[in-house]
């Protein structure tokens, strides 16, 4: 991930099944690459390049998952991945806000 990239973040799942069809809570956020530490940008770049995210802990059926959409300048469409919460840097998790819909 580069400084000029934009990352759209959506938190899904959890005990209440947030973000799913028929849900009444939307949990989203957005960051620019320049707002992240270099280590976090490198970690995200590895995930988008296909690196295997950490395994979900046992009993994580109700855990959160994150849908990340990477928008690069000049790209026709974003690159989208979905990863378990354990794979997401804290700075990315912290950008998410809940909204009643």
Put residue 91 in one of left, alpha, beta given phi > 0 → left and psi -120 to 50 → alpha. Answer: alpha
User: Which residues of the chain, if any, have pLDDT below 50?
Assistant: none
Q: Which residue in this structure is represented by tokens 């799942």?
A: 13
Predicted local confidence at residue 18, as pLDDT: 58
Burial class (CB in 10 A: 0-12, 13-18, 19+), 21: exposed
Domain boundaries, the chain: 6-100
Structure tokens at 79: 């690159």
Predicted local confidence at residue 58, as pLDDT: 67
pTM: 0.84
Predicted local confidence at residue 60, as pLDDT: 59
The string of pLDDT tens digits covering residues 54-76 is: 766 666 566 789 999 999 999 99
Q: Which residues fall within 8 angstroms of residue 49, CB to CB, at 6 or more apart?
A: none
């Amino acid at each position: 991930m580069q400084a000029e990239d934009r990352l759209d973040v959506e938190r899904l799942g959890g005990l209440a099944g947030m973000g799913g069809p028929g849900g009444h809570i939307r949990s989203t956020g957005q960051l620019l690459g320049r707002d992240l530490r270099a280590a976090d940008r490198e970690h995200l770049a590895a995930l988008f390049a296909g690196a295997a995210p950490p395994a979900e802990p046992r009993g994580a059926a109700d855990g959160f998952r994150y849908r990340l959409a990477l928008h690069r300048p000049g790209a026709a469409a974003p690159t989208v991945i979905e990863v378990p919460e354990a794979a997401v840097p804290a700075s990315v998790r912290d950008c998410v806000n809940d909204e009643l819909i």
